[in-house]
Amino acid sequence: MQTEIVIAGFGGQGVLFAGQLLAYAAMDSGMETTWIPSYGPEMRGGTANCTVIVADEEIGAPVVRNPQAVIAMNRPSLDKYEPLIKPGGVLVVNSSMVDRTPERDDIIVVTIPGNEIAEELGSRRLTNMVLLGGLLKALPVLPLEAIEKALAEHLPERHKKLLPQNYQALRAGANYEQEAFV
């Protein structure tokens, strides 16, 4: 089994961190993984995306043309990656930042108002965790507990006080009730 995931948005939205966390969780769970970040020179406000591959056997190449899943944190990311998802794949859309409905009818589309949920939890910076939780509910490549464990083990010491909020954000995304379109 090999699962290819793209997480995309603006720099500063935690795109790279969410992907790195997913890779750490896979690695800590004994799986094979790759994490390839990509971002413009602007960083904050520029485009950012990362590709994560999680597999139970050796990964042949880190290049992904048609991922099984995409988290689109903004409109440009939706426009760029929606056409590339494999049929039957999963698209998680941050409806807080996207002003259009996805067009594909051969994939599972999950829309989550990530920014609003994160703000209710106390910080817009939790949006990435909300959307990651939503992805893992729709595509359970790893259990939420593996992500929580990776957070606890890999988050810098100065940010450990934020663990409860991050756990809450993951669970809020996973538990968000909405209709997924297939």
- What is the C-alpha separation between 133 and 121, in angstroms, rounded? 14
- What pTM, to 2 d.p., does this model score? 0.92
pLDDT for the residue 12: 82
Q: Who contacts 68 (Cβ-Cβ below 8 Å, separation ≥6)?
A: 3, 4, 5, 85, 86, 89, 90, 139
Of the options 3.30.565.10, 3.30.70.360, 3.40.920.10, 1.10.1200.10, the CATH number for the domain spanning 2-175? 3.40.920.10
pLDDT for the residue 178: 63
Question: What are the φ and ψ backbone dihedral angles of 126, each rounded to 5 degrees?
Answer: -90, 0
Q: Who contacts 93 (Cβ-Cβ below 8 Å, separation ≥6)?
A: 72, 78, 102, 109, 110, 111, 112
Task: Quote the tokens at residue 144.
Answer: 């939420």
Axis crossing angle, helix 163-175 with helix 127-138, rounded to the nearest 10? 40
Q: Who contacts 95 (Cβ-Cβ below 8 Å, separation ≥6)?
A: 111, 112, 113, 114
9-29, pLDDT tens digit by residue? 998 889 999 999 999 999 999
Task: State the CB neighbour count (10 A cutoff) for residue 69.
Answer: 25
Q: Terminal CA-to-CA distance of the chain, rounded, Å?
A: 22
pLDDT tens-place values along the chain, 182 residues long: 899 999 999 988 899 999 999 999 999 999 999 999 987 665 556 679 999 999 999 998 888 999 999 999 999 999 999 999 999 999 999 999 999 999 999 999 999 999 999 999 999 999 999 999 999 999 999 999 999 999 999 988 898 899 999 999 999 999 997 644 44
Domain boundaries, the chain: 2-175
